[in-house]
Chains A and B, each alone.
Chain A
Amino acid sequence: MSLEVINLVKRYDTQQAVDQISFVAPTGKITGFLGPNGAGKSTTLKIATGFIRPTSGDILVNDISVTHNPMSVKKTVGYLPEHNPLYLEMYVREYLDFIGKAYGMDRKSRYQRIHELLDLCGLTIEKHKKLKMLSKGYRQRVGLAKALMSDPSVLILDEPTTGLDPNQIVEIRNVIKTIAHEKTVILSTHIMQEVEALCDKLVIIHRGKLVADDSLAHLQRKSSNQLGLSVQFDAPIDPDLFRSLKGIISLEVKSDHQLIITSKSERLRQEVLAVITEHNLPLITIKNVGGSLEEIFQKLTTEEGEAEL
């Protein structure tokens, strides 16, 4: 049970939308699928759901080829497309019922599943409304409920939280987290916090090419072999106290209250703390700088980044 992309290529006339991508989204994990706008994320997901055909290559969903047997793949996949298209004239329940019918569910299991999903996605109070009456956040929930209707083993979510307010984002994320066990989830996004909050694994593409395929922690470690700390004090201190640290690369004095120290030493944090306790300095905060996901993303998806890697 997994989703496997093999040498996928999609060409539109002259434009190469997806260029030789291969990766695996394992079961039981949430795979973050990242890339700048127009990188080929949605195209890849549209191929995975059988909406468009690849120029060459294939995607295996639970070992079934989407090019050879799209109908079997469609049965196992739950899909929330980008922009979440909906039949706006339909009522919430009616819409989910139609989806259930399309999956060949019988009346009883449809009824039961709709009941569960309304509850899970927080739609119960809106269940008698027409979809066009719903706010964007609720429409997104309906889209998610639609993707979950057949209780699919593979869930493909294309930017599930775009356009939502912070509370709604948290709620949708919680729903995704709740259901992610024992399912294969692929989540495309360009919101880095989302990846940090949800994903176990990261796949980054840029201009149709794969630039990273790794676990989140591993990527963060790989992206910078140096460690940076921002240290803030309650009172002015003497920055020279830290100059003697082992492996230090730079010491940036932000103000007489704040320092930014970068070092090759893996024990930088302990060493800094040792200095602080030794001199009894009035510490307020220590936090890591650099190696954040934004930086990794920028590094991998800009021209300089390409040259570097």
Chain B
Amino acid sequence: MIAVMMKEINEFLYSIIAYLVIGVFLIGVSIVLWVLPETSLLEYGYASMEPLFSIGPYLFMFLIPAITMKSFAEEKRSGTIELLYTLPLTSRAIVLGKFLAASLLVFFSLLPTLVYYYSIYQLGNPPGNLDTSGIVGAYFGLFFLGSVFASIGIFSSSITENQIVSFVVGALLCFISYEGFTTLARIDLWVSWAYYIEYFGIMFHYNAMSKGVIDLLNLTYFVGFIIIMLLATHYSLEARK
């Protein structure tokens, strides 16, 4: 597992995509947080990192499938999947290794934004006047959301050997699982079921975490979602045999 993870991380470092993705994420977040007048903290008047956590999922929705689109699709296209699956590595080690590498990249793209936390902390009046526990929860939420997106991206990469298809399917699945259920719940037809439908969506659990409450139920949801996606990846790759 470690061998595969290290290989994937090295591949990220060799390819421009990882730098591009982290770069776009940070620039996107910075523009929203500091430049755009509607969301800029300097205009907003409150010491809060709210814009980061509301824009984050939408950036991740495109950026994470861009990281993971290569994952299995490229191995299939170039035939290296045969190398990987004839080495004494279990399917679990391969899938998990790839997933961990991708979520590690998510982690490293979030890390620099801690600078904003410090800036806002200092800018507050008086300094430190901000909801730290809420922010910690929201960071956890955003990291788990990114990891779920990574597992979705890896799954969509395993069903095709075309990176573009993998990206489009991945982004679509991310969008549906984040916002789709919440939107669906608003339809009047099944208004009495709305809560349960919304409960299936990532947004429901992400928002709960953003309030600073790290509930076991939400954590179970995220971890369960990841396990299901990775299992689906495993079976979609087994089917090739």
Contacts and interface: CB of A to CB of B under 8 A. Distances in A.
Interface of A: 46, 49-53, 71, 74-75, 77, 79, 81, 83, 85-90, 94, 98-99, 101-104, 146
A89 B10 CA distance: 9
B86 A87 contact: no
A19 to B, nearest CB: 19
Interface in B80-139: 80, 82-83, 85-90
B172 to A, nearest CB: 28
B11 interface: yes
Contacts of A81: 79, 82-83, 86
A53 B238 CA distance: 10
B220 interface: no
A49 B85 CA distance: 9
A46 B88 CA distance: 14
Q: Is the interface of A mostly helix, strand, loop or mixed?
A: loop
Given A74-B88, A89-B14, A98 B79 contact: no
Interface size class of B (residues with CB under 8 A): 20 to 34
Closest 3 CB pairs of A and B: A85-B79, A101-B3, A102-B87
Contacts of A53: 241
Given A94-B10, A101-B3, A102-B3, A89 B15 contact: yes
B88 A104 contact: yes
14 contacts: A46-B82, A53-B241, A71-B88, A81-B82, A86-B83, A87-B80, A89-B11, A89-B15, A90-B10, A90-B14, A98-B7, A102-B3, A103-B88, A104-B88
Contacts of A77: 86
B75 to A, nearest CB: 9
Contacts of B82: 46, 51, 81, 85
A169 B224 CA distance: 53
Contact of A87 (B2, B11, B240, B241): B11
Contacts of A46: 82
A51 B85 contact: yes
Nearest to A47: B241
B3 A98 contact: yes
Interface string B40-57: 000000000000000000
Contact of B86 (A74, A88, A90): A74
Given A52-B241, A94-B10, A85 B78 contact: yes
A50 B2 CA distance: 22
A75 B88 contact: yes
B11 A50 contact: no
A8 to B, nearest CB: 15
Interface string B7-19: 1001100110000
Contacts of A87: 7, 11, 80, 83
A74 B82 CA distance: 12
A31 B2 CA distance: 36
A99 B7 CA distance: 10
Given A90-B10, A102-B87, 19 more contacts: A52-B241, A71-B90, A74-B87, A74-B88, A79-B86, A81-B83, A85-B78, A85-B79, A85-B82, A85-B83, A86-B83, A87-B7, A88-B78, A89-B14, A94-B10, A98-B6, A99-B87, A103-B87, A146-B83
A83 B79 contact: yes
B3 A86 contact: no
A152 B78 CA distance: 25
Contacts of B90: 71
Contacts of B10: 90, 94
Contacts of A94: 10
B218 to A, nearest CB: 36
A102 B14 contact: no
Nearest to A49: B86
A79 B87 CA distance: 9
Nearest to B81: A85
A98 B5 CA distance: 11
B72 to A, nearest CB: 14
Given A98-B3, A102-B3, A86 B88 contact: no
Chain A CB count within 10 A is highest, among B7, B79, B82, B89, for B82
Nearest to A74: B88
Contact of B80 (A49, A86, A102): A86
Contacts of A85: 78-80, 82-83
Contacts of A99: 87
A151 B86 CA distance: 15
Nearest to B85: A51
Contacts of A83: 79
A71 B80 CA distance: 18
A74 B3 CA distance: 16
B114 to A, nearest CB: 31
